[in-house]
């Protein structure tokens, strides 16, 4: 199997110009991590990321009290189900399914009414960010425990992060009544400056700490693109034994290689820290078998059943062929389709999980 967490044997020209390779950020960031850099670190307009060349680099580091993953969390979450439905902002069309699904989720972009706008084919940051403070009072959330996935477009994430004090973001989230909130999914992209990776890892952890300080249970978000980053997260988890869940936003991975890389990183963490489970958001469910014998420690959350229902698509679990079949159905209400589709999706995942566990037990017996 290809090791997606290994670094290239030789640095590129861009890697040689990265300050990381000079050992500037050791011992936190190993110089070898720069071998993965395949894009320029020159970024004077601070587009998307903060690189090692940024003239205000120290300001960003000081903002999160250094690059070390040394922020402690005390959150203790109750046991999560293996499947959690994710709703969107159209909550008035969604039925209450709390009896079947005690946990549901929303994303950051669903509870904000501004922050970014689409104009001239591009996303632009607005001057203010407004939160839909009464959204969780909608009937569909009654008796439910609601998880907030702090995920969305990079523009939105950055906008909320930098306006967090002005809009009293974390305190307002606490007042809205969420059961828990995940850390912000500050992006890590292969090839970009290794300093930007370390900074975004720490910023994500810092956001979880701010949730916790506001009185909200938190699930830290963890991206890792190489073995060094995996090792840092594993060391942090072992130092914070009360944390039993971490989450990974899987909505941006599209290619087979990207999906394989995120699976390998997750499984490496699970192997190193046997007590922890992972909540994957938006993972392509047809790739579920990639988790192999770790499947019982993987929890899934997505909104595909909701999207299908809004387009009058009925999902039907075909147990004989182990597939979710999609048919057109405009004979019932959207609310009915929403409830039905989430139920069918859960049955599909449950069936595949049990099938995988049986197969692995049989394999273990045959080896013994």
Q: Closest by alpha carbon to 90, among 349, 311, 324?
A: 311
Residue 213 is classified by DSSP as H
Structure confidence at residue 122 (pLDDT):
41
Structure confidence at residue 124 (pLDDT):
45
Assigned token pair, 16: 């040689």
Instruction: Provide φ and ψ at 86, rounded to 5°.
Output: -110, 125
Query: Tokens 């996935």 sit at which residue?
Result: 149
Q: Which long-range contacts (CB under 8 A, 24 or more apart) does 333-340 make?
A: 334/93, 334/309, 334/310, 335/93, 335/94, 335/95, 336/95, 337/308, 337/309, 337/312, 337/313, 338/93, 338/94, 338/95, 338/97, 338/305, 338/306, 338/309, 339/95, 339/97, 339/100, 340/309, 340/314, 340/315
Q: Give the CB-side neighbour count of residue 28, counting CA atoms within 13 A.
A: 18
d(CA 287, CA 285): 5
pTM of this prediction? 0.93
**Residue 271: burial class (beta carbons within 10 Å; 0-12, 13-18, 19+):** exposed
Residue 221 is classified by DSSP as B
Structure confidence at residue 154 (pLDDT):
87
Task: Return averaged pLDDT per consecutive 10 residues of the chain, 368 residues in all.
Answer: 87 96 96 96 91 96 97 95 96 95 96 58 56 93 97 90 94 96 95 97 98 98 97 98 97 88 97 98 94 96 97 96 95 97 97 92 74
């Amino acid at each position: 199997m290809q090791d997606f967490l290994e670094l290239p044997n030789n640095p590129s020209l861009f890697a040689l110009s990265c300050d990381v390779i000079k050992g500037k950020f050791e011992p936190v960031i190993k110089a070898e991590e720069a071998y993965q850099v395949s894009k320029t670190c020159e970024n004077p307009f601070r587009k998307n990321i903060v690189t090692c060349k940024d003239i205000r680099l120290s300001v960003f580091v000081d903002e999160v009290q250094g690059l070390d993953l040394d922020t402690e969390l005390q959150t203790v979450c109750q046991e999560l189900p293996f499947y959690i439905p994710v709703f969107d902002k159209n909550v008035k069309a969604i039925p209450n399914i709390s009896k079947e699904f005690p946990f549901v989720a929303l994303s950051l972009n669903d509870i904000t009414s501004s922050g970014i706008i689409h104009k001239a084919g591009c996303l632009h940051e607005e001057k203010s960010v407004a939160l839909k403070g009464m959204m969780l009072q909608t009937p569909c959330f009654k008796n439910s425990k609601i998880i907030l996935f702090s995920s969305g477009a990079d523009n939105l994430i950055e906008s909320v992060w930098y306006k967090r004090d002005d809009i009293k973001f974390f305190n307002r989230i606490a007042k809205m009544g969420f059961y828990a909130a995940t850390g912000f999914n500050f992006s890590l992209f292969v090839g970009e400056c290794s300093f930007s990776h370390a900074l975004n890892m720490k910023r994500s952890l810092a956001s979880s700490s701010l949730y916790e300080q506001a009185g909200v249970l938190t699930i830290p978000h963890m991206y890792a693109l190489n073995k060094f980053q995996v090792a840092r997260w594993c060391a942090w988890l072992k130092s914070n034994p009360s944390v039993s869940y971490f989450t990974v936003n899987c909505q941006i991975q599209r290619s087979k290689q990207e999906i394989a890389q995120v699976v390998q990183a997750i499984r490496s963490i699970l192997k190193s820290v046997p007590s922890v489970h992972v909540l994957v958001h938006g993972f392509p469910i047809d790739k579920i078998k990639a988790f192999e014998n770790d499947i019982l420690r993987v929890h899934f959350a997505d909104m595909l059943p909701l999207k299908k229902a809004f387009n009058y698509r009925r999902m039907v679990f075909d147990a004989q062929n182990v597939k979710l079949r999609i048919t057109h159905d405009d004979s019932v209400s959207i609310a009915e389709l929403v409830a039905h589709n989430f139920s069918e999706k859960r049955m599909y995942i449950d069936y595949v999980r049990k099938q995988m566990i049986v197969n692995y037990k049989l394999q273990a017996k045959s080896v013994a």
